[in-house]
Amino acid sequence: MTTHSRPFEFTARQMIRFFPVALLIAAPLLRADEPPPFTKGLTPADFAAAGLGKLTPEELAKLNDLIRAGQEGAAPVPVPEEVKAQIREQAKAEVRQEVTAEVKAEVKAEVKAEVKAEAKAEAKAEVREEVKAEVKAENAKQASPGFVDRMKVLLRPGTEIQYTTLETTLPPPFHGWQNGTMFTLANGQRWVVQDDAQYWSPRIDHPVKVKIVPGAIGSFFMEIDHGGRPRVHFLGNSIVTPAPTPAPAPSSP
C-alpha cells in the first residue's frame, strides 16, 4: 500500500537541520531591543584612554557581554539605616518649612483682616465724634448771635481786628433814636446809641432791618433801614426783648 506524506510536516531529522538556521535568523531580532554595547557609547578619546583599541573584536564583544551581565544581575546596594534616618529628617525639615510658610501666610491674612476690621471700627468712631463735634459747632454757631463771641475780644488802641457785618432786625415799634437810646435786636443783642446826633421818624410797627457794621478803632455803627446810622456800643445779650427807649420828640420849629 502506497503512503502519502502530509504537507508542511517535518521529520525529526529535518527539524534538527532547520534549528541552527532559524536561530541565526532570529538572533538579530532578539538583540534588537537590547541596549547598545558599553564600548559603543564611549567617545573616541575615552575609548583610546581605556586602551580598548588593543583588544580584538572578540575580546571587545566578551567585555561588553560581561558588562551587560553585571548591569542586569547586579544586586541593589543596601542603604544603611543611618543614611535613611538622615534622609527622613531632611524630608521632615523640608516639609516643615513648606507647612510653616503656608501657616504664616494664613495667619498673616487672618491678622490683616482683624487689623483692618479694628482700624475700620476705630476710624468710624473717630469720624463719628468729629462729625458730632462739627454738627454741634455748626448748631451753636447758628444758635448763638455770633457777633457776641467776637465782642469778647477787647480792642486796644492801634489794634486792627476785622469783624463780619451782622444783619438782623429791630423789633417794633421804632420811631427814632438819640444819644443813650438802647435797642434790643431780634437776635437778643443789646446796643446803646453813643452819638451826639439824633433821628426822629413816624412810628413803625413792623420789624426794621438793621446792620451792625464795624468802624475804626473798635467802633461800631448801626445802619437802620431808612432810619439813620448812629454810632453804637455793645452791652450784651438779653433773653427778653424790651421795647426800645423812646426817642425824643422833635423840637418845634
Reported as a single tens digit per residue, the pLDDT across 204-227 is: 999 999 999 888 777 899 999 989
> Quick one: 185 and 168 in the same domain?
yes
Both 116 and 156 in one domain: the answer is no
> Which ranges constitute the DSSP H helices of the chain?
12-30, 44-49, 57-73, 81-143, 147-151
Q: Is residue 54 part of a domain?
A: yes
Same domain for 135 and 161, yes or no, is: no
pLDDT of amino acid 131: 84
Q: What is the pTM of this model?
A: 0.35
Residue range 193-209: mean pLDDT, rounded: 92
Residue 200 lies in a domain: yes
Handedness of CA 87, 88, 93, 96 (dihedral sign): positive
Domain co-membership, 120 together with 166: no
Residue 163 lies in a domain: yes
Lowest mean pLDDT among 47-61, 70-84, 221-235: 70-84
Q: Is residue 243 domain-resident?
A: no
Q: Is residue 253 part of a domain?
A: no
- Identity of residue 113: A
Our count of domains for the chain comes to 3
Q: Does 246 map to a domain?
A: no
Domain match, 35 and 61 both = yes
Q: Given pLDDT bands bounded at 50, 70 and 90, which one contains residue 247?
A: low
Q: On the CB side of 215, how many CA atoms lie within 13 Å of its CA?
A: 12
Q: Looking at the domain assignment, is residue 171 inside a domain?
A: yes
Using an 8 Å Cβ cutoff, are 176 and 202 in contact?
Answer: no
213 lies in some domain: yes
Q: DSSP 3-state assignment of 144?
A: coil
Q: Do both 108 and 180 map to the same domain?
A: no
**In Å, what is the CA distance from 98 to each residue of 88, 101, 106?**
15, 5, 13
Return all residues near 164 (Cβ < 8 A) that are at least 6 apart: 146, 147, 150
Residues 128 and 168 in one domain: no
Burial of residue 191 (CB within 10 Å: 0-12, 13-18, 19+) is buried
Q: How confident is the model at residue 169 (pLDDT cuts 50, 70, 90)?
A: very high
Tell me: do 155 and 233 sit in the same domain: yes
Cα 214-183-223 angle, rounded to 5 deg: 40
SS3 content of the chain, % helix, strand, coil (to 5): 45, 15, 35
Lowest pLDDT segment from 31-40, 150-159, 177-186: 150-159
Q: Which residues contact 118 (CB under 8 A, 6 or more apart)?
A: none
Higher pLDDT, 39 or 62: 62
- 149-159 burial, b for 16+ CB within 10 Å, e for fewer? eebeeeeeeee
pLDDT at 181: 94
Q: How many CA atoms lie within 13 A of 60 on its CB side?
A: 16
Domain holding 233, by residue range, is 151-237
- Kindly tell me if the per-residue pLDDT of 81 is higher than 70: yes
Choose the final residue of a domain: 143, 161, 177.
143
Looking at the fold, whether 108 and 65 belong to one and the same domain comes out as no
The cell numbers describing 157, all together, are 488802641
Do 157 and 216 share a structural domain? yes
Residues 63 and 103 in one domain: no
Same domain, 171 and 232: yes
